[in-house]
Structure 1
Amino acid sequence: MRDAEGFDEFYRGTAGRMLRYGYALTGDLAEAQDIVQEAYVRAWQRWRKVAAYDHTESWVRLVVARLATDRWRRIHTQRLALRRAGPPGHAAAPSDDTVLLVGALRRLPAAQRQAVALHYLCDLSVAQIAAETGTSPGTVKSWLSRGRAGLAAVLDDVTPEAHDVG
């Protein structure tokens, strides 16, 4: 069994310094928090061995430094790939139909919106949606029915010119 109390004491005594160190290495507080957290996770996983070291804090500091270096390598690799590939192309503006549909979906209750999206955008069957959402197929059918009716009502209100054919 690992010495949780000993680890907790070590963590409380060193975490602030490690975060400042990680921040100095990365220049990004959120990234520093992530790598320091990862360093302490690794220390906890090996706590029996790490706790026996003469300089336990040095071991964690080394892990923080290596994780920060890995981050810089990853960023460098991503920049090289971006230079080779060039910037992404211009994204076209969404069509009016897309804007209307997204607006209509946002007006549905969350369960209906999820069921409609899973069924029509992800091509899931009623049974698959029921399994994924932890509900009965009857509930899913109800959500789909109400969702379609809700979408129709919203879209009819938004696009009255569709009915003015004449």
Structure 2
Amino acid sequence: MHGALDLDALYQASYRRLVVQMYAICGDLVEAEDAVQEAFVTAIRKRRQLEAVANHEAWLRTVAVNRLRSGWRHAAVVRRLQPRVPGSQAAVEVGPDHVALVRALAGLDAAGREVVVLHHLADLGTAEIAAELGIPEGTVKSRLSRARARLAALLDEREEWERA
């Protein structure tokens, strides 16, 4: 590719091939897709560096493989240190109600989801949330109100869908 690098064309030409290669390396399709996506995000951030290399796909492949290796190193550290974490090591049980709640929370905007979780799951008051997030308490209250209304609607939709 001479001249300006066309990232869209590069993506179209190499995304699938890179995912297949990363999948063959790691054996996990989601992890492979994440690695390739992160390689393209890095390409956007480091466009000049990418433009300077002769083989753009090889550069992306190197970034994706490095991402996989980094993940493996992190997982090894977690496995090694996990026994030292205080408290019970029992797996958390996740029932259908919890899954439904998490799915409904995903339907909220990030700001709303954050205040709902801090208020209802972390048991923080609105003043504590405001201090933690560095925003006015009134903003916390309005976000909480809007998020609760949206959450109620999302959970009602779920119940209607299950009855159908």
Q: Give TM-score scaled by structure 1 length.
A: 0.54
- Give the drift of 1:37: 0.7
In the superposition, relative to structure 1, how do residues 122 and 87 fare at CA in structure 2: closer, same or farther (>3 Å)? closer
1:134 partner SS: helix
| TM-score (normalizing by structure 2) | 0.55
Q: Report the CA distance shift for 1:132/1:30 in structure 2 as closer, same or farther (over 3 A).
A: same
Is 1:72 the counterpart of 2:80? The answer is no
Contact 2:19 2:32 in 1 (8 A): yes
Change (3 A) 1:79 1:132: same
Deviation of the 1:89 alpha carbon: 4.9
1:38-49 alignment to 2 at 5 Å? Answer: 38-49=38-49
RMSD across aligned positions (CA)? 3.7
CA offsets per residue over residues 56-101 of structure 1, 9 Å max, x none? 111111111111111111111111112445882559xxxxxxxxxx
List alignment gaps of at least 5 residues for structure 2.
92-111, 131-135, 149-164
For residue 32 of structure 1, what is the aligned residue in structure 2? Answer: 32
Q: How many pairs align?
A: 113
What residue number does 1:132 align with?
140
Equivalent-residue separation in structure 2 for 1:27 and 1:86 (angstroms):
32
Which ranges of 4 or more aligned residues in structure 1 deviate by more than 3 Å? 83-87, 127-130
Partners of 2:89 and 2:77 lie apart in 1 by 20
- The structure whose Rg is larger is 1
2:101 corresponds in structure 1 to none
What percentage of residue pairs aligned between the two structures are identical?
A: 26
